[in-house]
Structure 1
Amino acid sequence: MRSHAGTPPSRRRFLALSAGGAVAGAAALNGCALQVSSGVSGPGETVTLMVKPDDISPELVKQAQKDIGVKIVTVRYDLTKLIGMMTNGNPPDLVRGVGAVDAPYFAARDVMEELDPYFARSDVLALEDLDPVNDLWRYDGRTQGKGPRYGMAKDFSQDSMYWYNTRLFDQAGVDHPPETEPVTYEEWLDSAKRLTRRKNGQTTVFGGSYNGVLTPNLLTSLTVAAGGSLFSDDFSRVDFTTPEARKALGWYIDYCRAKVGPSLVQPDPNAWDGPTYQADRMAMTNSGYWLGGLINADKKLAPVSRLAPAPVFQGDRRVSPCQAGTGLWMPRKARNKDAAWRVFEWFFGEAPAKARATSGWGIPTLKSLRTLMPAQEDYQKRVLKVQNAELKHFSVIAFTPYATADSLYALFNQTAPAAMRGDMSVDTLAGRLNSVMNEQLKRGKEQVG
């Protein structure tokens, strides 16, 4: 295993990190809520995790100490702080990340440890047991999905799938979607319009929510579903004016203009779909399998809830990606790598992973743990049937290494509201997004070198 001792990577690379969007603080990457923990090879060792508050419970910290003899210290995840810690040569031992967008970004900046040698000698995490979603954490210097492994997802969803409430469909006289065949995006939006309820100028029931994990992730996936790519071959530019990207952007703006679901111009007071769906105030929610963790706990909601395949564009191929794949990665300059790897194994393959698998809050990223997914009730069996059929439509959709998703998200949020309100054409919006995002990507590419 190669050593990365010596001088820290150049300051230029760290400036590249911050230029990629550390300043877009409010637009946090919000993938599946990550339960993070850490552990060690020798008793009494300490492993530092940079995670978000919900990522690791105090109980899990205690459990790591008991199970593997490791003391875990947590530092709140903050990109600016992470860059500072790495620049000072004192990085955390493990860092939370959203594989779909963070893996190429950090790998291109040469600050992530290659984990292949660790996987090769692991008795816990066998390569043949890894679900293909973990390929989101691979990057070969050009394209995501190939090359060395830099991290692993804790669990995942196919984030273009959606849940729907049969009670609200029946009340509105709208036919249920087919169980394992996808509707088109156009049909989905038509149903959302018919399911929306308004009273005295206020929306009382959202017909459907479709925002993805973050808008850049969503639009990247929608463009592939339309048969194209949002990014150029070298990922240094976006082009929203290609027919495929224009179709994807146009559909999303139509969704926002129709006011059938939450958007920048019609925010959900709850800030996310879960409580609104649970209150029977949202008929469809573009949340993948992981929302089952909330639904299963509600014995009135669970029997009337169904999971449906990712929609397709008419005549185009079936695409069902993961837009998050939240997990952990190890900085190259981490000081306690063996101890950090032991935590990594424990978190992704032992007690915490088994507990997550039984919860319904995401699909396990080890194939051997799929048998633990909730299947006691008839409605759970139905969900599992739909989800298992959908797995074969998963593919890695590569993201640019030259900007963070949240920096592109911030640019989208500054540019798009006028189009969502109908005050700007989609073609004008496409040109403006190209201009502002390509300027950001150009800076990122220059700094990565």
Structure 2
Amino acid sequence: MHSQAAAPVSRRRFLALSAAGAAAGSAALSGCAMQVSSAVSGSGETVTVMAKSDDFSPELIRQAQKEIGVKINTVLYSTSKLIAMMTNGSPPDLVRGVGAVDAPYFAARGVMEDLDPYFAKSGVLKADDLDPVNDLWRYDGRTQGKGPRYGMAKDFSQDSMYWYNTALFDQADVEYPPELEPVTYEEWLDKAKRLTRRRHGQTTVFGGSYNGVLTPNLLASLTVAAGGSLFTDDFSRVDFTSPEARKALGWYVDYCRTKVGPSIIQPDPNTWDGPTFQANRLAMSNSGYWLGGLLNTDRKLAPLSRLAPAPVFEGGKRISPCQAGTGFWIPSGSHNKDAAWRVFEWFFGEAPAKARASGGWGIPTLKSLRSLMPSQEPYQKRVLRVQEAELRHYSVIAFTPYATADSLLALFNQIAPASMSGSMSLDALARRLNSAMNEQLKRGKEQVG
């Protein structure tokens, strides 16, 4: 395997990366763990992994050393730190990333190693065993979902699905959604209104949350569900004024404006859905299968919690994408690619992957590990039935390579609140978003060349 290091990232590439680096930190990189595996050349190797603090427990690092004889050195994920390490010619050997938004961004800048030759020779990770969600980590120089593989997801969910609490539905006398058929987005919002409880001006129960993983890829997914595309064919521009994107944007603004759930104008003090759902203060949570990992630990709540298919727009397409696909990639400048690949194999295909699959914190990204998903209890069997039926509706929603999702999120969060509070029309919002985001995308396209 070619293990020589590539040249350090050029000044031009550095500018292309750092343009959005300031914004590209926390939110775009959420939800993945990583470990090491036995180095091809035997023990004693050290692999530097850039990850978040909860990705690697000390126990997992010890397990890696014991099982594969590789020492893991962790560096806390930071986009600016990553850029600095790459431009200095000493990048990490493995980097955490969110496939749905990071893969096209970094692949277009030529800093990711093409992993196809490694997959071709692997006895652990076989191409025909890879779940289609791993196509989020493919990029052919033009479109996400095709071409070489640059990384892999550790596990995944179809992030437009939602959980609901049957006890809160019963209290509000609201009928449950059908088990295998989607409700419309309009019906979902109507239920959320009926499920919301307020007392003395305070919301005591949120009817439902629907924020996706990050607003820009939520809106990209909603636009496809409405029958269109948020991005132009070459991904160099957005158009929120197209009928489909306007419908998607209008629905999300309505969701925020009606205050049935958490949003930028009504933040959840818990900052995410898990604790609020557990406290019986959230009737529907737009979290995919992975939330089951938390619910399975709550013996009282788990039997009351059900998973439902992703909604549809009237007359639109039935789609159920993954908005994250968090995993790892190997920088093309890594000095230790073969040992990094062994860690990659171990983490994605051996003991850590099996442990994740059996915990219910996500769907395994190897089809051969699906049988490990929790199915002992009747409520787990029900969740699994809904999830397995939903897999048929999965598809990659391609994201632009010309801006980070975080940089587009920052623009959205600056501009959109005025519309959510009723002081800006939807058409004005669509035009403002086009203007601001297209300026950002234009700069990114110029830098990539």
Instruction: Give TM class, smaller chain.
Output: over 0.9
Uncovered stretches (5+) of structure 1, i.e. residues with no partner:
none
Amino acid at match of 2:45: E
Equivalent position of 1:296 in the other structure: 296
Moved more, 410-419 or 148-157: 410-419
What CA deviation, in whole Å up to 9, does each residue of 1:338-367 have, x standing for no partner?
100000000000000000000000000000
CA contact (8 A) 2:36 2:68 kept: no
Amino acid at match of 2:104: P
How far apart are the structure 2 equivalents of 1:4 and 1:206? Answer: 54
Amino acid at match of 1:29: A
1:9 CA displacement: 3.4
Equivalent position of 2:426 in the other structure: 426
- Superposed, 1:358-377 pairs within 5 Å as 358-377=358-377
How far apart are the structure 2 equivalents of 1:306 and 1:118? Answer: 39
How far apart are the structure 2 equivalents of 1:352 and 1:38? Answer: 9
SS at match of 1:204: strand
Amino acid at match of 1:142: R
1:26 CA displacement: 6.6
CA contact (8 A) 1:27 1:407 kept: no
What CA deviation, in whole Å up to 9, does each residue of 1:394-423 have, x standing for no partner?
000000000000111111101111111111
SS at match of 2:389: helix
CA contact (8 A) 2:28 2:101 kept: no
Equivalent position of 1:437 in the other structure: 437
How far apart are the structure 1 equivalents of 2:69 and 2:171? Answer: 55
Equivalent position of 2:122 in the other structure: 122
How far apart are the structure 1 equivalents of 2:132 and 2:11? Answer: 34
SS at match of 2:96: strand
SS at match of 1:175: coil
1:28 CA displacement: 2.5
Equivalent position of 1:29 in the other structure: 28
How far apart are the structure 2 equivalents of 1:386 and 1:30? Answer: 27
Equivalent position of 2:195 in the other structure: 195
Amino acid at match of 2:153: A
Equivalent position of 2:137 in the other structure: 137
1:7 CA displacement: 3.1
How far apart are the structure 2 equivalents of 1:141 and 1:413? Answer: 30
SS at match of 2:311: coil
SS at match of 1:85: helix
How far apart are the structure 2 equivalents of 1:296 and 1:7? Answer: 47
Percent identical: 78
Moved more, 133-142 or 54-63: 54-63
What CA deviation, in whole Å up to 9, does each residue of 1:271-315 have, x standing for no partner?
000000000000000000000000110011000000000000001
Kindly report the root-mean-square deviation, in angstroms, between the aligned alpha carbons of the 2 structures.
1.0
CA contact (8 A) 1:34 1:56 kept: no
CA contact (8 A) 1:4 1:332 kept: no
Amino acid at match of 1:24: A
How far apart are the structure 2 equivalents of 1:27 and 1:70? Answer: 28
- Superposed, 1:14-413 pairs within 5 Å as 14-19=14-19, 21-24=20-23, 28-31=27-30, 33-39=31-37, 40-41=39-40, 42-413=42-413
What CA deviation, in whole Å up to 9, does each residue of 1:8-60 have, x standing for no partner?
232101110111x21126752253x2111123222111000000011111110
1:3 CA displacement: 6.2
CA contact (8 A) 1:35 1:57 kept: no
How far apart are the structure 2 equivalents of 1:445 and 1:35? Answer: 31
Amino acid at match of 1:74: T
Amino acid at match of 1:22: G
How far apart are the structure 2 equivalents of 1:354 and 1:274? Answer: 23
SS at match of 1:133: helix
How far apart are the structure 1 equivalents of 2:29 and 2:428? Answer: 29
CA contact (8 A) 1:236 1:445 kept: yes
How far apart are the structure 1 equivalents of 2:378 and 2:183? Answer: 24
Q: Aligned pair in 2 of structure 1 residues 26, 45: CA closer, same or farther (>3 Å)?
A: closer
How far apart are the structure 2 equivalents of 1:112 and 1:30? Answer: 16
How far apart are the structure 2 equivalents of 1:422 and 1:380? Answer: 42
Uncovered stretches (5+) of structure 2, i.e. residues with no partner:
none
Amino acid at match of 2:350: E
SS at match of 1:23: helix
How far apart are the structure 1 equivalents of 2:159 and 2:53? Answer: 23
How far apart are the structure 2 equivalents of 1:252 and 1:174? Answer: 22
Q: TM-score, normalised by structure 2?
A: 0.98
Amino acid at match of 1:100: A
SS at match of 1:148: strand
What CA deviation, in whole Å up to 9, does each residue of 1:66-104 have, x standing for no partner?
000000000000001100000000000000000000000
How far apart are the structure 2 equivalents of 1:317 and 1:296? Answer: 32
Amino acid at match of 1:23: A
Q: Aligned pair in 2 of structure 1 residues 120, 365: CA closer, same or farther (>3 Å)?
A: same
Q: Aligned pair in 2 of structure 1 residues 71, 372: CA closer, same or farther (>3 Å)?
A: same
Amino acid at match of 1:85: M
What CA deviation, in whole Å up to 9, does each residue of 1:219-250 have, x standing for no partner?
00000000000000000000000000000000
How far apart are the structure 2 equivalents of 1:34 and 1:23? Answer: 21
Aligned length: 447
What CA deviation, in whole Å up to 9, does each residue of 1:405-442 have, x standing for no partner?
01111111011111111111111111000011001000
